[in-house]
Amino acid sequence: MALQISATNPEHPALLLELPWHLPLEEWPDEYLVPLPRGISRHVVRYARAGDEVIAVKELAERPALREYELLRDLDRLGIPAVDPLAVVTGRTAAGDAPLEPVLITRHLGGSMPYRSMFETTMRPATMHRLMDALAVLLVRLHLSGFAWGDCSLSNTLFRRDAGAYAAYLVDAETGDLHPQLSPGQRDYDLDLARVNISGELLDLEASGALHPSVDPIEFGMEICARYGGLWEELTRTSVYPAGKYHYIERRIRRLNELGFDVAEMQIEHSSNGDTVTFVPKVVDAGHHQRQLLRLTGLDTEENQARRLLGDLESWMATQDDYAPGDPLAARPEVLAHRWVRDVFRPTVRAVPLELRGSMDPAEIYHELLEHRWYLSERAQHDIGLDTVVQDYINNILPTARETLLPTPSAD
Ligand SMILES: Nc1ncnc2c1ncn2[C@@H]1O[C@H](COP(=O)(O)OP(=O)(O)O)[C@@H](O)[C@H]1O
Ligand SMILES: [Mg+2]
């Protein structure tokens, strides 16, 4: 059987051909290898050099190799933090034509550490709590996308430092399964596996003397459940607010943004007597808002601006008489969005005199006004109308902000 390399990038096969595929991975000479720390694994895993890149090579049977490769590609498409799949190599033979196991190749996740190496210096409990936070975020993200991990554990996760916290990446997708949606039972089962695995891994560390004495392995296993539960609830619960209190919805969206989740396509429903609104956020990947806002309104903005503007647009849509998502006779979102640009966005921005805008573009001004509305509404504990906000902004904020907003005069 001939050596076959299936790769995501056409440049990779040439680089990969240089590697000694006729040798079992365990016998690869040092000149090909990169000595970086590895986690515990069932299969043989080695890091090797391929051109400028460091790759992780894992030896396993053909079917699971192809399956894991496809699943990692799915996760990439879904915007989930996971290692990048690069290739699968099949048809390997040793001298004398003895078949060798295929390999799955992923890009080495730079700056990442397996948890065991992190514990070597006896990690403080506070740091461990942060790792659990990161792992809970990853598991929630996977579940929201319909991915049941099947073997969530510290060994199957890589951690990267992220502005004082940690970001968790999935490294082992072999046992995973992608569904359109997960049932509560499937999620519970997956979470329970995580709990048992984590407690087991911490018990191992304890036995080898590498665990901080104040850390209880069983309690830490439970902690992943508590963190996951809190996060899931915050992301998916339906809230009911008195009609007109849109800043409550905004408060919830802000909380979700602070947790690192983007919210799109809020479902807002009015009760039949019009007294309450029901709100369910939908969580999405990064860059989503920019594309969505451009499609709906033609406004081309930065991602954070787009998120703010869409939030406002969607709350406003819900106040329109002909807004009825799912009803084929109701106004299409593009039509409502156009009306919002014409009746709300443009007049609001235009109300701020050109000479006071400094270097801010319209999206940034509108964003500033939304910030100011948020601030005034929180202070007043009720919604403040945009007209009032604009006036207050012009009178009280712009005069002090002006100097910093004006383009700086050049030195000459
Ligand atoms: N792309 C990668 N980047 C960094 N480390 C990796 C990568 N792929 C694998 N590893 C390391 O190898 C270990 C084992 O990989 P894994 O896929 O979990 O193998 P197994 O299926 O045998 O459990 C991981 O815990 C991790 O430390
Ligand atoms: Mg593993």
pLDDT, tens digit, 9 for 90 and up, residues 123-137: 778 778 888 888 998
Please give the pLDDT value at position 324: 78
- Segment 316-340 shows an average pLDDT of 83
By C-alpha distance, which of 112, 117, 151 is closest to 134?
A: 112
* % of the chain exceeding 90 in pLDDT: 45
Residue minimizing CA distance to atom 16 of ligand 1: 172
pLDDT bracket for residue 141 (50, 70, 90)? confident
pLDDT at 406 over 60: no
Structure tokens at 376: 């005034």
Beta carbon of 174 within 6 Å of any ligand 1 atom = yes
Beta carbon of 43 within 6 Å of any ligand 1 atom = yes
Higher pLDDT among residues 131 and 120, named by residue: 131
Q: How many CB atoms lie within 10 A of CB 343?
A: 11
Give the number of the ligand closest to the Cα of residue 110: 1
- Segment 49-54 shows an average pLDDT of 90
Beta carbon of 318 within 6 Å of any ligand 1 atom = no
Higher pLDDT among residues 319 and 25, named by residue: 25
Q: Is the pTM of this model over 0.85?
A: no
pLDDT at 69 over 90: yes
Ligand 1 atom closest to Cα of 44? 22
b/e burial code for range 159-187 (CB count within 10 A of at least 16 → b): bbeeeeebbbbbbbbbbbebeeebeeeeb
- Ligand 1 centroid to residue 86 C-alpha, Å: 14
Is 94:24 a contact under the CB 8 Å cutoff? yes
b/e burial code for range 252-264 (CB count within 10 A of at least 16 → b): bbeebeeeebbbb
pLDDT at 291 over 80: no
Tell me the per-residue pLDDT of 81-110, one tens digit each, with 9 for 90 and over: 899 999 999 999 998 889 999 999 999 998
Higher pLDDT among residues 284 and 298, named by residue: 298
pLDDT at 403 over 90: no
Question: Using CA of residue 209, residue 211, residue 213, residue 215, what is the dihedral sign?
Answer: negative
* % of the chain exceeding 70 in pLDDT: 90
pLDDT bracket for residue 411 (50, 70, 90)? very low
Beta carbon of 367 within 6 Å of any ligand 1 atom = no
- Ligand 2 centroid to residue 152 C-alpha, Å: 9
Please give the pLDDT value at position 193: 97
- Ligand 1 centroid to residue 57 C-alpha, Å: 9
Residue minimizing CA distance to atom 8 of ligand 1: 56
pLDDT at 213 over 50: yes
Tell me the per-residue pLDDT of 246-271, one tens digit each, with 9 for 90 and over: 778 788 877 777 766 666 656 677 77
Is 373:389 a contact under the CB 8 Å cutoff? yes
Beta carbon of 250 within 6 Å of any ligand 1 atom = no
Average pLDDT, the chain: 86
Distance in angstroms (rounded) separating the CA atoms of residues 257 and 272: 30
Residue minimizing CA distance to atom 26 of ligand 1: 39
Q: How long a stretch of residues is the chain? A: 412
Element (H, E) at 258: helix 246-258
pLDDT bracket for residue 121 (50, 70, 90)? low
Structure tokens at 163: 């502005």
Tell me the per-residue pLDDT of 214-227, one tens digit each, with 9 for 90 and over: 889 999 899 999 98
Look up tokens 């992780």; give the residue. 56
Give the number of the ligand closest to the Cα of residue 151: 2
Q: How many CB atoms lie within 10 A of CB 329?
A: 6
pLDDT bracket for residue 287 (50, 70, 90)? low
Beta carbon of 106 within 6 Å of any ligand 1 atom = yes
Ligand 1 atom closest to Cα of 173? 17
pLDDT at 388 over 90: yes
Element (H, E) at 347: helix 346-350
